[in-house]
Structures are given as structure tokens and as C-alpha cells.
Amino acid sequence: MSGHHHHHAAEGGDRRVLGAVLVNVLLTVAQIAGGIVSGSLSLIADAIHNLSDAMSLGIAFAARRIARRPSDRAMTFGYVRAEIVAALVNYTTLIVVGLYLVWEAVLRFLDPQPVEGWLVVVIAGVALAVDLATAALTWALSKESMNIRAAFLHNVADALGSIGVIVAGTLIILRDWQLVDPLVTLMIAAWILWQSFTEIGGVIRLLMLGTPAEIDLDELIGALRGVAGVAGLHHVHVWAIDERHTALEAHVVVADGTALGGEAVKQRIKALLAGRFGIAHTTLEIEQASQSCEGEDARLVGHRITGARG
């Protein structure tokens, strides 16, 4: 029954993401058309960001469906990292978009162009409403997915960008401050870049099999060494399979003659890891002290692996 409920919840989430994609595509078309007619670079900048959101959500939609595929001989851990790969693609694209907008804004500062304020304000107002609606569609899903969380934050950024465009258009109407348009463009670009660089580090860390940030490795190793029956420890690896599952493998040295080949020690370690650190996927190699590889240039953390050959 729980699996059936999970399936329907996932399908419902997919529909919300797909709906958000369609809404953002329609908004992008309207904003680009309005930006061209009005001459507003900030409106086109906001449209490009909306397009990147639509693409981000489209990639997230595909990744969500791929991630639910079961493990097979080609992918023994399953396809759960599809969403992480999608997040890396999305953030990299956003960084390129942000840098492009900075370039365009600088050019507009050097060569100001007239902007039709009223059209900018009206279209940006519609964009703000759509941004808020899209954020509402993705808010619940953002709590469980790095990729959807990024899309949610993008829509919040879009909403702020739309507010900025409305302010710019209003100032152009009231004061004819044409330079406020590229200034708002720079602000939107800065938000995109700040957001992207803030989030991309966690994505790269996960893909590089880094130790999850929430786990204190020294504390974990100390706890393992304190387990009754553990005489030594080496080749410890801790990594995140995805956002919700962490794995550990290690060589555990037990005293010679330990009953059942250290099986009791292994079970105590597994219980500790699951209960205290939330690590349920563990691979432990038990070694007798007299046969341990600990003296063979063994490292406490990881193996001695080099990236270069020859």
C-alpha cells in the first residue's frame, strides 16, 4: 500500500513540475516579445531567466522519472543520481546565463537605449504572478530534491527580478531614468550567479563521492573505534549515494580468535552507524589482527589511489 501511495505521490509531483514548465514557457514567450517591443533589456533578462527555469524544470522532470528506475546490471546503485546530474547541468547553465547578462548590461550602460516603461511594468506584473504560481507548484517538492529545490529558488529569484523590473519601469515612467534598466539587469544577473555558485558546490561534492557535509568524520571514526571488539580501523570510505542515502565501507580489525569471525562486532557497528549517523548501507571487511593489511601502507581514510597513470 505504501509503495502504491508513493507511486501516486510521485506522479502527482511530476504533474506539478510539468505544469510549472508549461507556465514558464508561455511567460518566456510573452516577456521576450514585450522586451523587444518596449526595448527593455531587463525584461528580456528576466525572460531568459524564466526560460532557464523552464529548461531546469524540464530537465528535473525527466530526471525525476529516470531516477525512479530500479537498479540493473548497468547501474547497480540504480538511477537515483540522475537528478544530481541534472542539477549540475542546470547550475552550470545558469552561471553562463548570468555572465551573459552582465556582459549585455555593461554594453547597455555604454550605449543606452530607450525603454517603453508602461509595457515593461504590465508584463513584469504578469510575470510576478506567474513566478509566484510556479513557486507554489514546486515548494513542497523542493524539500525532498536538490534539483527541484534549485528550481524553486530560481522562481523566488524570478519573482524578485520581476519586482526589480517593475521598479525600473516605474522609475523610467516617472523620472525617465533609462540607466535603471541595465542596473536592474545587473542585479538580476548578480542574484543568478550568487545563487548558482552557492548551490553548485554541494552538487559537485556529491558527484565527487565527498563525505556528506552533515557527517563529522572524526566523530564517526572515534565512535567506531569505541565499539567493543574493535582493535583497529582503516580504509574508511563515507559517501552519499544520493541526497537521502549515505554509504560506508571500512576494514575493521578484531583480535585473533574473536567469536564468529567478528560477526558480533560487525552487527554492533551497523547498529551504531544506523542509529547515530543515519548510515544504513554499510560494507565492512573484518580482519583478524594477525592477518590485517593495516601495516601494508594502509590509510585510515580512503585508499592510496592516484588519478594519473604512467
Q: Dump pLDDT digits (tens) for 181-200.
A: 788 778 888 888 888 898 89
Asked if residue 253 and residue 174 are part of one domain, the reply reads no
pLDDT of residue 294: 56
Asked if 202 and 225 sit in the same domain, the reply is no
Same domain, 179 and 245: no
Structural domain contains residue 296:
no
Q: Are residues 65 and 196 in the same domain?
A: yes
In a shared domain, residues 112 and 164: yes
Which residue, of 172, 189, 207, is where some domain finishes? 207
Task: Give the global pTM.
Answer: 0.73
Give the single-character DSSP code of 77: T
Same-domain check for residues 154 and 108: yes
Share the mean pLDDT of the chain. 79
Reduce the DSSP state of residue 115 to 3 states and report it. Answer: coil
How far apart CA 222 and CA 226 sit, in angstroms, is 6
Query: Rounded distance, CA 93 to CA 114, Å?
Result: 29
Report if residue 122 sits inside a domain: yes
Question: What's the pLDDT tens digit per position in 95-123?
Answer: 887 888 888 888 877 876 665 667 667 77
Tell me which of 156, 186, 207 is where a domain ends: 207
**What is residue 222's predicted lDDT score, i.e. its pLDDT?**
93
202 and 227 inside one domain: no
Model confidence at 3, in pLDDT bands (50, 70, 90)?
Answer: very low
Beta-carbon contacts of residue 127 (< 8 Å; ≥ 6 apart): 27, 30, 31, 46, 50, 158, 162, 165
Mean pLDDT computed over 212-241: 91
Give the model's pLDDT for residue 8: 44
In a domain, 299, yes or no: no
What phi and psi values does residue 246 have, to the nearest 5 degrees? Answer: -115, 140
**pLDDT tens digits for 60-70?**
888 888 888 88
What are the residues whose beta carbons fall under 8 Å from the beta carbon of 74, sequence distance 6 or more? none
Number of structural domains the chain divides into: 2
* Whether 33 and 161 share a structural domain: yes
Same domain, 242 and 98: no
Q: For 276-305, what is the mean pLDDT?
A: 76
Segments forming the whole domain that contains residue 280: 217-291
Confidence at residue 115, expressed as pLDDT on a 0 to 100 scale: 59
Phi, psi of 252 (to 5 degrees): -115, 125
Task: Say what the pLDDT of residue 150 is.
Answer: 74
The answer to whether residues 203 and 119 belong to one domain is: yes
Q: Output the domain CATH number for residue 280.
A: 3.30.70.1350
Same domain membership, residue 37 and residue 148 = yes
pLDDT tens-digit readout, 121-159 = 777 777 788 778 777 777 777 777 777 777 777 677 677
* Residue 221 placed within a domain: yes
Same structural domain for residues 272 and 152? no
Q: Nearest-CA neighbor of 48 among 9, 115, 103, 87? A: 103
Can you give the CATH number for the domain in which 202 is found? 1.20.1510.10
Matching residue, cell 515612467: 173
Q: What is the pLDDT of residue 220?
A: 94
Residue 34 within any structural domain of the chain:
yes
Confirm whether 266 is domain-assigned.
Answer: yes
- Assign 275 a pLDDT band (cuts: 50, 70, 90): very high
Domain boundary at 207, 236, 261, which? 207
Torsion of CA 217, 220, 222, 225, to 10 degrees: -130
The confidence score (pLDDT) of residue 307 equals 47
Residue 168 lies in a domain: yes
Assign 251 to helix, strand or coil. Answer: strand
Percent of the chain with pLDDT over 90: 16
Residue-wise pLDDT for 251-270, tens only, equals 998 887 665 567 888 999 99
